[in-house]
Structure 1
Amino acid sequence: MEILKLAQYKQTYRYNSDSLLLSDFALNCGVKNELLDIGAGCGIVGILLKFFTPNLTLNLLEIQEKNIALIEKNLKQNHIQAQVFHADFRVFSSKKKFDFLVSNPPFYRDGAKMGINEHENISKFQRFLPLDELIAKANSLLKPRGVFYFAYEALALPKICFILENKKLKLTKIRFVYSAKGQKARLVLIQARKGVKSSCEILPPLLMQKNLNLSDEMQRICSRFRIKSYDF
């Protein structure tokens, strides 16, 4: 299987397992037609979705100009076609609506200590893309019955449910991610849809580690996404 090459900056925010988990979740649930990756970073989620769904029309949006160069490089070296937007999602406007949205947004709360690296702060702290603004804008950009996939900290689930209902999006699938057996869920993977009345499906939990090693499912996910990262 072809190995994807992804350039990253050395001493700034770098993608982690959450991007792989979200990509696997979205692919398993299904993506097609027109998709927008919100807060694309180096482009990893959108690139993975497009690689495994060749007919997908990919759009990537990123607020940090520094990351645009990464996205364009990673698209080119992996022979992926996409439209790239340099914009703050909160004020982003588009004449076209999207069938699918996907995002691995910043969710560190204000109580966490912010560092001196601005690139990392924008990538990690929710003040730069508050949850209510993310979901409200997502709703405005989705076609009827459109789908929004995103990952968020599990502790925020009550807030997620409240905002989704308030912004007229229906929580249709959820999966809890655990670092190891006996620990509290650290992440939730969410599928929300616009203009549907479906019930919410709670998927089997995902355990990342077993006996201090990667679980069978995490090994499957890592094997599915063969990525070679390097410093740019």
Structure 2
Amino acid sequence: MREFTFTQLKDGYRYNSDTLLLYDFISKHKLKGSVLEVGCGCGIIGILLKHKFEKIELFLLDILQQNYELCEINLKQNNISAQLFCEDFFSFSHKRKFDFILCNPPFYRNGAYESTNLHKKVSKFQSSFCLDSFIKKSNSLLKANGTLYFCYESSALESICSTLTKYKLRLSKICFVYKDEKSKARLVLLEAKKSFNGVCEVMRPFFMYKDKIISPQMQELSSSLRIKSLDL
């Protein structure tokens, strides 16, 4: 099994279990063609997907210069190729449309404690990334039968569905993530498609813990990846 190395900021937003859950969700569906990761951070999801689906053309975009530089490091040390952009997604333009767009967006609610650390604040809070604008912009950049992958807090599902409909996207797959069997869903993993007329598939739920220990599902995910983290 290949080991991946990802450099991150010691004092900044770092990839976490949500990152790996979104990667796992996306990786179960065959990717081909052009793939744009929005708000790519250190590039971990895109890099892992490029390794699994070697023939995809990978594009990584982030508004923060620090993340652009982290991606340069991580692409090089993992021997992965991609086109990098340091731009605001909402003003981003490209000569082509994309087959897939994926994002682990900031979804902490406004009013929650916001860190004074700019890197953490931009990466975590809704105030820096409007859901409506994200879906609208994604629709404009996707091909006619393109697919959007993202995760969000489960309590926002009603708003997500109405916004997808507003911009002519439809849910095709959904997976709810729970802390354990006694908890309410905290996260939802979503696949939405343009020009989709089928029925949304509700996938097997994902439980992080079982009987207060890491669940078999989480153990399986963790054991499928060998990741080494370095601090910058």
TM-score (norm 1): 0.98
Tell me the residue number matched to 1:115.
115
- What does the per-residue CA deviation read over 1:196-216, in whole Å, with 9 as the maximum and x for residues that have no partner? 211111111100111222111
Identity %: 49
Q: What is the alpha-carbon distance in structure 2 between the residues aligned to residue 172 and residue 41 of structure 1? A: 26
Where does 1:24-35 land on structure 2 (aligned, <5 Å)?
24-35=24-35
Does structure 2 retain, via aligned residues, the 8 Å contact 1:153–1:187?
yes
Q: What is the alpha-carbon distance in structure 2 between the residues aligned to residue 149 and residue 209 of structure 1? A: 24
Q: What is the alpha-carbon distance in structure 2 between the residues aligned to residue 30 and residue 188 of structure 1? A: 20
- The answer as to 2:125 corresponding to 1:125 is yes
Report deviation, 1:126. Answer: 1.2
Report deviation, 1:49. Answer: 0.6
Report deviation, 1:30. Answer: 2.4
- The answer as to 2:78 corresponding to 1:60 is no
Q: What is the alpha-carbon distance in structure 1 between the residues aligned to residue 209 and residue 15 of structure 2? A: 19
Where does 1:180-219 land on structure 2 (aligned, <5 Å)?
180-219=180-219
In structure 2, give the amino acid aligned to 1:127. S
Q: What is the alpha-carbon distance in structure 1 between the residues aligned to residue 92 and residue 218 of structure 2? A: 35
Tell me the residue number matched to 1:154.
154
Tell me the residue number matched to 1:17.
17
Structure 1 spans left out of the alignment, 5+ residues: none
- The runs of 4+ residues in structure 1 deviating greater than 6 Å are none
Structure 1, 73-82 or 211-220: larger mean CA deviation: 211-220
Q: What is the alpha-carbon distance in structure 2 between the residues aligned to residue 169 and residue 3 of structure 1? A: 36
Secondary structure at 2:110 match in 1: coil
Report deviation, 1:29. Answer: 2.1
- What does the per-residue CA deviation read over 1:140-193, in whole Å, with 9 as the maximum and x for residues that have no partner? 000011110001000110000010000100111000000111101000000000
Report deviation, 1:113. Answer: 1.5
In structure 2, give the amino acid aligned to 1:73. I
- The answer as to 2:79 corresponding to 1:43 is no
Q: What is the alpha-carbon distance in structure 2 between the residues aligned to residue 36 and residue 72 of structure 1? A: 16
Q: What is the alpha-carbon distance in structure 2 between the residues aligned to residue 3 and residue 135 of structure 1? A: 34
In structure 2, give the amino acid aligned to 1:9. L
Q: What is the alpha-carbon distance in structure 2 between the residues aligned to residue 53 and residue 208 of structure 1? A: 26
In structure 1, give the amino acid aligned to 2:83. Q
Secondary structure at 1:227 match in 2: strand
Structure 2 spans left out of the alignment, 5+ residues: none
Secondary structure at 1:188 match in 2: strand
Q: How large is the Cα RMSD of the aligned pairs?
A: 0.8
Q: What is the alpha-carbon distance in structure 2 between the residues aligned to residue 224 and residue 56 of structure 1? A: 21
Q: What is the alpha-carbon distance in structure 2 between the residues aligned to residue 213 and residue 224 of structure 1? A: 18
Q: What is the alpha-carbon distance in structure 2 between the residues aligned to residue 54 and residue 217 of structure 1? A: 26
Q: What is the alpha-carbon distance in structure 1 between the residues aligned to residue 107 and residue 41 of structure 2? A: 14
Secondary structure at 2:28 match in 1: helix
TM-score (norm 2): 0.98
Tell me the residue number matched to 1:93.
93
Q: What is the alpha-carbon distance in structure 2 between the residues aligned to residue 160 and residue 130 of structure 1? A: 11
